Copies of this chain bind each other. A is one copy, B any other.
Amino acid sequence: MSAIPEEFLKQTARMSDEVTRPFTNSKKIYIEGSRPDIRVPMREISQAVTHSDSGVEENPPVTVYDTSGPYTDPAVKIDLLKGMPDVRTAWIEERNDTEILSGPTSAFGRQRQNAPELARLRFEHIRTPRRAQAGKNVSQMHYARQGIITPEMEYVAIRENCRLQELRQDPRYTKLLKQHPGEPWGANLPDEITPEFVRDEVARGRAIIPANINHPELEPMIIGRNFRVKINTNIGNSAVTSSIEEEVEKMVWSARWGGDTLMDLSTGKNIHETREWILRNAPMPIGTVPIYQALEKVDGKAEELTWEIFKDTLIEQAEQGVDYFTIHAGVLLRYVPLTAERLTGIVSRGGSIMAKWCLAHHQENFLYTHFDEICAIMKAYDVSFSLGDGLRPGCLADANDAAQFGELETLGELTQIAWRHDVQVMIEGPGHVPLQMVKENVDKELDDCFEAPFYTLGPLVTDIAPGYDHITSGIGAANIGWYGTAMLCYVTPKEHLGLPNKQDVRDGIITYKIAAHAADLAKGFPGVQLRDNALSKARFEFRWEDQFNLGFDPEKAREFHDQTMPKESHKVAHFCSMCGPNFCSMKITQDVRDFAAKQGVSEQEALQKGMEEKAVEFKKTGAEIYQKA
């Protein structure tokens, strides 16, 4: 422990309070699968009863998808210095197709392991890496294509359903489960997600389960158009600022608020050690952009990058447990000049690095020419491709141009190569795109890339709101998610301006939870409207605590409510702060109903019969309907 910097321990302490505090009236539950070691975490939100003249009505608990990992389970002792509990090792071992290596096989991995000056920073409990036995392929896609349903597949099936089949049998949920028909734009959303459906989607390449065999702490999740829309968050220190402990805390913070996956985009010092800390404590899939680290290894001189340096970096990171790699293999020499007349040229870091390399050597992108070798590494650890959009537009003006769409076609070609190796693939997308041009991006991706999952940044639908780009991009994200994008990469309010702090990360995540949920609702994903219905009922019945607790951010909702109505009594008040006690529309509506109910007839019938004398009676009681302020 003494090896760990003091500030880090402090940070850890702080974290367990603010970052791991359970949500009010929420309970961590685990749904067991076909075997006891498949335990899928969910969050159950309990509700208060409803009191009315007709008696007391129970409001059943609402189960929600839970990304927060063991951090919100009071039964788990969190120790960031030791790392998270192991979820998958037994599953991996029983497949009997991997071997434990004696140590890192990458040159850089060995170098970092043996550098004494790094002891201060190094995670203490590093596992020796695991790799596929010679000639074996350990990718989930490979198993799926053999017809094998892995525990990972069963796990995500249970997770996606969120107990829907169980709730459908429970009369307490009948009304809450009402949902509008969606417009899925060709997505195929089954009534129940079975392990076999998961297997089939993974086999077809229409969904991926990013799950490196060296990341056993992972709680498996799935990314695909026919599943819940997911969101990715980014963290990463840079030359300018940030530190290991900040990054680990941001990762846990991201899990708390709903991040489904996380990319470590660190570009500063000690990337290797930062990554180890993050992976050993991360319940979600971790992605990276290996070219960033490779560039550090050549002091930022793009033209000095080589296939050997890059290959060593891939192995280094794969053996740490990175679940997906962004690889900009679609930035071809012939596309680079197409960006010369753009308003903002090439804005993807990876894209510009490769473009510069191509021009410097006047050779084809080595990621493209070595793609088969890359696939060979990916399948030995089950790292998924996130084929990078190095030529994505950096502003509205450059949207949907020849460079962007040329690269997208090449990504489709690479997808087929990866699939020949049974390697999982998703495709990255823009960027900055005006609203009327968003759908074309999805349609073209589904077409050119054979329905491989689409993973987009935003897109921002306008360029003129720096400081609010979580919102400019949240609008594009909701739409592109609806049209068929499988995962949305979040954007924080600091985009284009600075590095996000914890509050920015939270704002970005909640904005993207909203976008992803809006997309699920619009597509008609089964059961997703239940939470909206439950919250709306709570709102209508002035169950303030339930309204807070059913939302994406109960703490913010409570804080806002208390700014106007601080008293505890207000939380049970049958009025809201907008109108005050004498003047609340929901109150009036309830009065109208109660009145009709008192007459023992529905308003409908009452009106049909005509209700003159009832009207008189109503006038008499009417005055009392208003509470005094």
Residues of A at the B interface (CB closer than 8 Å) are 178, 180, 182-183, 238-241, 267-268, 292, 295, 300-303, 333-334, 336-337, 339-340, 343-349, 351-353, 355-356, 359-362, 394-397, 399, 432, 434-437, 461-468, 470-472, 474-475, 478-479, 482, 493-494, 496-499, 501, 510-511, 513-515, 517-519, 521-524, 529, 531-533, 535-537, 539-540, 547-548, 550-553, 556-557, 559-561, 563-565, 576-586, 588-593, 595-596, 602-604, 606-607, 610-612, 614-615, 618-619, 622-623, 626, 629
On whether the beta carbons of A360 and B498 are closer than 8 Å, the reply is: no
On whether the beta carbons of B475 and A518 are closer than 8 Å, the reply is: yes
A563 to B356, CA, bound (A): 31
On whether the beta carbons of B560 and A498 are closer than 8 Å, the reply is: yes
A619 to B357, CA, bound (A): 10
A241 to B499, CA, bound (A): 38
Take A557-B466, A579-B349, A615-B362 as given contacts and tell me if A496 and B539 are in contact as well, using a CB distance cutoff of 8 Å. Answer: yes
Q: Which residues of the partner chain B approach A557 to less than 8 Å between Cβ atoms?
A: 466-467, 497
On whether the beta carbons of A536 and B578 are closer than 8 Å, the reply is: no
On whether the beta carbons of B610 and A362 are closer than 8 Å, the reply is: yes
CB-defined A-B contacts under 8 Å, sample of 20: A238-B580, A302-B588, A303-B618, A340-B593, A343-B537, A344-B589, A345-B590, A352-B589, A356-B622, A362-B611, A395-B532, A466-B557, A468-B510, A468-B511, A472-B518, A494-B560, A494-B563, A497-B577, A498-B561, A499-B577
On whether the beta carbons of A482 and B240 are closer than 8 Å, the reply is: no
On whether the beta carbons of A397 and B532 are closer than 8 Å, the reply is: yes
A337 to B603, CA, bound (A): 5
A547 to B537, CA, bound (A): 44
Q: Which residues of the partner chain B approach A464 to less than 8 Å between Cβ atoms?
A: 517, 531-532, 535, 550-552
On whether the beta carbons of A344 and B592 are closer than 8 Å, the reply is: no
Q: Which residues of the partner chain B approach A359 to less than 8 Å between Cβ atoms?
A: 592, 595, 603, 611, 615, 618
A395 to B241, CA, bound (A): 44
Take A336-B603, A577-B240, A588-B353 as given contacts and tell me if A533 and B395 are in contact as well, using a CB distance cutoff of 8 Å. Answer: yes
Q: Which residues of the partner chain B approach A352 to less than 8 Å between Cβ atoms?
A: 585-586, 588-589, 592
Which residue among A241, A267, A361, A578 has the maximum number of chain B CB atoms within 10 Å of its CB?
A578
| Shortest Cβ distance from A522 into B: residue | B435
Q: Which residues of the partner chain B approach A553 to less than 8 Å between Cβ atoms?
A: 465, 467-468
A552 to B464, CA, bound (A): 6
On whether the beta carbons of A514 and B475 are closer than 8 Å, the reply is: yes
| Shortest Cβ distance from A587 into B: residue | B352
Chain A binding surface, main DSSP class: helix
A548 to B497, CA, bound (A): 9
Partner of A462, one of B292, B395, B465, B517: B517
| Shortest Cβ distance from A470 into B: residue | B471
A117 to B361, CA, bound (A): 85
On whether the beta carbons of B498 and A585 are closer than 8 Å, the reply is: no
On whether the beta carbons of B592 and A356 are closer than 8 Å, the reply is: yes
| Shortest Cβ distance from A493 into B: residue | B560
Q: Which residues of the partner chain B approach A524 to less than 8 Å between Cβ atoms?
A: 436
Partner of A582, one of B300, B496, B535, B540: B300
A593 to B345, CA, bound (A): 9
Which residue among A362, A550, A585 has the maximum number of chain B CB atoms within 10 Å of its CB?
A585
- In the A-B complex, the 6 residue pairs with the smallest Cβ-Cβ separation, listed nearest first, are A498-B564, A239-B580, A395-B536, A345-B589, A435-B522, A467-B556
On whether the beta carbons of B474 and A548 are closer than 8 Å, the reply is: no
| Shortest Cβ distance from A492 into B: residue | B560
Which residue among A300, A464, A467, A596 has the maximum number of chain B CB atoms within 10 Å of its CB?
A464
| Shortest Cβ distance from A361 into B: residue | B615
A519 to B475, CA, bound (A): 11
Q: Which residues of the partner chain B approach A614 to less than 8 Å between Cβ atoms?
A: 362
| Shortest Cβ distance from A495 into B: residue | B578
On whether the beta carbons of A267 and B302 are closer than 8 Å, the reply is: no
A478 to B548, CA, bound (A): 26
Q: Which residues of the partner chain B approach A240 to less than 8 Å between Cβ atoms?
A: 564-565, 577, 580, 629
On whether the beta carbons of B532 and A462 are closer than 8 Å, the reply is: yes
A595 to B629, CA, bound (A): 73
On whether the beta carbons of B622 and A583 are closer than 8 Å, the reply is: no
17 further contact pairs, Cβ within 8 A, besides A238-B578, A435-B482: A239-B581, A239-B629, A337-B602, A337-B604, A344-B536, A345-B540, A349-B585, A359-B603, A360-B615, A435-B479, A435-B521, A461-B522, A462-B521, A464-B550, A466-B560, A497-B564, A498-B578
A6 to B540, CA, bound (A): 41
Q: Which residues of the partner chain B approach A472 to less than 8 Å between Cβ atoms?
A: 514, 518
A181 to B595, CA, bound (A): 55
Q: Closest approach, in angstroms, between the C-beta of A433 and any C-beta of chain B? A: 9
On whether the beta carbons of A551 and B465 are closer than 8 Å, the reply is: yes
A596 to B355, CA, bound (A): 13
